[in-house]
Amino acid sequence: MTSHRWSQNIEQTLPSRQGAHVPLIEEILAKLEELGWEFRDRFGIHMALEESLTNAIRHGNKFDEAKVVKVHYRLSPERFWLMVQDEGPGFVPECVPDCTCEDRLDVPGGRGLMLIRAYMSDVCYSDRGTCVTMEKIRGQEPAMDD
């Protein structure tokens, strides 16, 4: 993993303010397009970025501007890697109910984590759920049950 030649390796912090993540997403998507990533892959990465950064700002840091979201990303023509860390209390990903169960289909929340898992090749939570790390291999199809 460490031997991969990354085109970019960038760390930055975001304030815990609504919409603070939007310019970063635009920047990353533009870089991926420059590196030749197709629309379909960029769509999935857009989803994972939107959901993970929103979760960190909203559910993790609860819009507390005294707290920041740490973002570390690497990209290359073949791979995209992202780490998002908030300063919130954390959560247990396994305890988030499955929103695709028949009796929970009409419950409005809980789909963000599922979308991240579906579109990324690999997703891992650490530090009590305050840190999520994910990777996307270019061209890999979204995971779909059934």
Partner 1 sequence: MSVRRRTKLSESGPVTVVTFADSKIIDEEEIQELGQELYDLVDREDRKKIVLNFAHVEFLSSAALGKLISFEKKVSQHGAELILTNIRPEIYEVFAITKLTKLFKIKDDEADALAVL
Could you tell me the smallest distance in angstroms from the CB atom of residue 18 to partner 1? Answer: 6
Nearest CB to partner 1, comparing residues 9 and 100: 100
Could you tell me the smallest distance in angstroms from the CB atom of residue 97 to partner 1? Answer: 13
Evaluated on CA atoms 83, 88, 93, 97, the torsion sign reads negative
Asked if residue 68 lies in contact with residue 8, where contact means CB atoms within 8 angstroms, the answer is no
Closest CA to 130 of 86, 95, 68, 93: 86
Nearest CB to partner 1, comparing residues 10 and 115: 115
Asked if residue 77 lies in contact with residue 28, where contact means CB atoms within 8 angstroms, the answer is no
Nearest CB to partner 1, comparing residues 104 and 128: 104
Closest CA to 70 of 15, 123, 28, 12: 12
Residues binding partner 1 (CB under 8 A): 18-19, 22, 39-40, 43, 46-47, 50-51, 54, 58, 99-100, 102, 105-109, 111-112, 114-115, 118, 142-145
Nearest CB to partner 1, comparing residues 50 and 87: 50
